[in-house]
Amino acid sequence: MMNTGKKSGGEERQPAGGVLREPSGLFQWNEPRAPSDPAREQALVSKRVVSDTIMCVDGVAIFLAALVAKWIYIVTFLQHNAEIGPYAVVGAIGAVIAISAMRYQGLYDFELLSEARGQTRRILLGLVAAALFLVAAGYLLKISEQYSRGWFAVWFTLSAFTVFAVHTVNRRVLRWLGALGAFARNIVIYGSGDVAESVIRRVAMSPMNLRVVGVFDDLPHDQKGQVPVLGGLSDLISFGQQRRIDEVLIAMPMTNELRIANLVEQLSLLPADIRICPSATAFRIPPKRLLDYEGLAVLELERRPMEGWAPIIKNVEDKLLASLLLIAFAPFLGLISLAVKLDSRGPAIFKQRRHGFNHEVFTLYKFRTMHVVEDGPGITQATRLDPRVTRIGRLLRKTSLDELPQLFNVLRGDMSLVGPRPHALSHNEYYSTVLA
């Protein structure tokens, strides 16, 4: 490491307000910034404000789509001058439910707003959730006849196109603002040596708009390093008082608790987040978040798949959709069962034990597609032109209609509509041994 600020003399010391650019490909010196420089101000755009604003725009768009659909279908097409009040109420309720469902899926997470991937699915699922809720509420309250199904269809079609358009424009605007550095987060690193250099390399590769603007340390530095050190703790505080700092990252081994405690106490003078990276090895298993266990700092490395309201909402969603699909496909279930029975001897429903969530064993239901019914330690995987497959079984396998009875598994809570495919117990045991 190379120290560009001498502690003993003041004439050759680099000014605390200097800006690091890249002598090593990462930093270079620039002239000091005046206290009135915009860098001292808060970030140009708050990520939380952006996310919440887009969410509100989506809600307003869905609400207005309900009113426009009323004008298009009820007033113009049916030529009926109905009161706007009931449609406005339903539109507002639908908008709240839709954006709540979209938010639950992570649509408004700032890191995802500038990416097209996954947005279409999240938007459509949010609108479907709102539609199902309104249909169910209308049926239970016996008010569904007061609203035209045509208006309902036009409303959600307009909502989908409007929200898609909003997010298409948003992606372009966010990328443009990001290129201008509107979301850049200024980071100052306190510490030197291998730990600090590792932190800087990682920050440089990060897609999170992080910008290291200074490195400080009070201890002697290895002059062979590539990262310049601007000064000590007092210089860091002066630096932070002259320009905006969003985060101070302490990069040192956590072997000197008293020194770290003193650093945190003095750095609390700055209006910035104070975080610590214990060592370079901390990046080998990236932590999810930092927890406080009665004063004990704990880095969370993995989180359970779902917690809080998430498993409850998912369970209700699965059971509701499975019930609706079973009702809708009931005639097909009966016809397929009859076809399987007439095609070959044996039960219409095939049962087999599978591994579910957390390796729990459950009984999976499918339409029988073979002459044999296997569920033991040795199960032969079906192959192309397998003679065990029945005539109707080939059609069911090709169209995946043999999996329709799995809706009963979803209704029982054994499976989810969206999730990994369960395999036979013997196949899991075999491949777990092979891949171990």
Under a CB-based contact definition with an 8 Å cutoff, are residues 163 and 103 in contact?
A: no
Q: In this predicted model, which residue has the larger pLDDT, 224 or 298? A: 298
Please give the Cα distance from 436 to 391 (Å, whole number): 38
pLDDT digits (tens, 9 = 90+) for 77-105: 877 777 888 889 999 999 999 999 999 98
The dotted CATH code for 2-8+16-39+184-300 is: 3.40.50.20
pLDDT in tens, 332-363: 999 999 999 998 888 999 898 888 875 678 99
User: Which pLDDT tens digit goes with each residue over 386-421?
Assistant: 788 888 998 998 888 999 999 999 999 999 988 777
d(CA 217, CA 225): 14
CA distance 358 to 54: 37
Q: What confidence tens digit (pLDDT) does each residue in 1-55 have?
A: 344 433 333 333 333 333 333 333 343 333 334 334 444 445 556 777 888 889 9
pLDDT of residue 207: 55
Q: For the chain, which residues make up each domain, given as ranges? A: 2-8+16-39+184-300, 47-179, 310-434
Average pLDDT of the chain? 76
